[in-house]
Amino acid sequence: MVEAFAVASGKGGTGKTTSTLALGMALAERYDVTVVDADTGMANLLFHTGLDDADVTLHDLLVEGREASVDDAVYDRFGMSVVPCGTSLAAFEAADPGRLREVVAELAAGTDVLLLDSPAALGSKSAVLPVVLADRVVVVLQPTVPSLSDGLKVQEYARSYGTETAGVLFNRVRPDEDVERIAEQASRYFGGSALASVPESDAVRAARRAGEPLLAHAPTAPAADAFREAAATLDVRE
Ligand code: ADP
Ligand code: MG
């Protein structure tokens, strides 16, 4: 494997799942990419990939004495290998999140780039495990002070486990937002430039409704260009 990235944020709804799939599709033009819905409590990547009815999911790989093999939970979608997670509360409760470590190790052996769509918040050990397991973290933020503050905490926590920040991705940037100010904030707080500023976009919402990643549903939308730019700026380690 080349590299594993966690896509994380302080709060939910910043666009982690949208970003994971968009970065994944952009990187899939050069690499074998596997995306994993590691947000085992609030999984929703399945709804963005037409996998609502997937038989075997990450939950089945996290149970003690599992019967499923890792390959059973891998689906070919949009040029990537996708490991969805189910939405049942009972399955979440039956799963042992600590087993993610061995599942990630198995997946990593068969792919170039692994993207872990991560839970929001740092409340529990299981919520931070994807960030701990990754080589680097992509922090998804909105261009607001509270979101920046959340993102800084994610960065600090990740660093305490040796996971460096690959970059920050400003999402849902409105037309009246000052992009230069955002770039300045990124370098001041995160010690590097923003990977990209992704605009607030009807195309993102339409893609979700269609059950497709943005880059499949609206490849020419400005938001799709911004995500491709972010993927190129990631500078995956060869
Ligand atoms: P998270 O995984 O961080 O909870 P999602 O990727 O699921 O966030 O996004 C949350 C909601 O916001 C979704 O309905 C998604 O379609 C919408 N959304 C995300 N990014 C954008 C954007 N750039 N423009 C418009 N809507 C967006
Ligand atoms: Mg999500």
The domains found in the chain, sorted by start residue, are 3-233 (3.40.50.300)
- Counting from 1 in the atom list of ligand 1, the atom nearest the Cα of 171 is 23
Sorted by sequence, the CB contacts under 8 Å of residue 69 that are 6+ apart come out as: none
Q: Is the pLDDT of residue 148 over 80?
A: yes
From 28, 91, 90, select the one nearest 56 (Cα to Cα): 91
Q: Which residue has a Cα nearest atom 15 of ligand 1?
A: 205
- Asked if residue 72 has its Cβ within 6 Å of ligand 1, the reply is no
146: enclosing H helix or E strand: helix 145-160
Amino acid of residue 236 = V
Q: Is 214 helix (H, G, I), strand (E, B) or coil?
A: helix
The percent of residues above 90 in pLDDT, for the chain, comes to 76
The CA distance from 206 to 135, in Å, is 32
Burial class (CB in 10 A: 0-12, 13-18, 19+), 180: exposed
Which residue(s) pair with 6 in the sheet?
116, 137
Task: Indicate the SS3 state at residue 158.
Answer: helix
What pairing do the DSSP bridges indicate for beta strands 136-141 and 164-173?
A: parallel
What mean pLDDT do residues 234-238 have? 80
CA distance 100 to 102: 6
Distance 205 CA to ligand 2 centre (A): 14
Give the whole-angstrom CA distance, residue 67 versus residue 112.
26
Question: Does pLDDT of 1 surpass 70?
Answer: no
Residue type, 148: L
Atom of ligand 1 nearest to the CA of 18: 6
> Distance of CA 11 to CAs 34, 69, 71, 92, 146, Å?
24, 32, 31, 20, 10
**Residues pairing with 137 in the sheet:** 6, 165
Write the pLDDT tens digit of every residue in 73-94.
999 999 999 999 999 999 999 9
Distance CA 153, CA 117 (A): 18
Average the pLDDT over 153-174 and give the result: 93
Tell me if 13 CB under 6 Å of ligand 1.
Answer: yes
Rounded to the nearest angstrom, the gap between the alpha carbon of residue 170 and the centroid of all alpha carbons in its chain is 14
